[in-house]
Amino acid sequence: MEEQDIDTDRIDAATLALMFLTLHDADRISGTCRAWKSFDWSALGRLHDRGWIRDPVGKAKSVVLTPVGLERCEQLFHQLFDARPKDPV
């Protein structure tokens, strides 16, 4: 598969959604939370560029999700992986 054939937006959405599984150290004051950063470095860089995580470069094994990133993380997790029946629209 060629690089131009890869939908990086979908990869980024899945990466952010999977971070929901490793959330820890929530900070109620700042509205941030940490998640393990064992994901593709390019995807983490794009999430940082979108303002969903703080700078992923460093020795820490986790990354800080911004308040907007934390909210989007949970939304995407349920959108992509929720097995419960959906309410009819």
Per-residue DSSP letter, 3? G
pTM of the model: 0.81
| pLDDT of 45 above 90 | yes
Per-chain mean pLDDT for the chain: 90
pLDDT digits (tens, 9 = 90+) for 46-85: 999 999 999 999 889 999 999 999 999 999 999 999 887 6
Domain residue ranges of the chain, discontinuous segments joined by +: 7-81
Position 87 scores a pLDDT of 67
Element (H, E) at 32: strand 32-36
- Report pLDDT for 49: 97
CA distance 75 to 17: 8
| CATH architecture under which domain 7-81 falls | 2-Layer Sandwich (3.30)
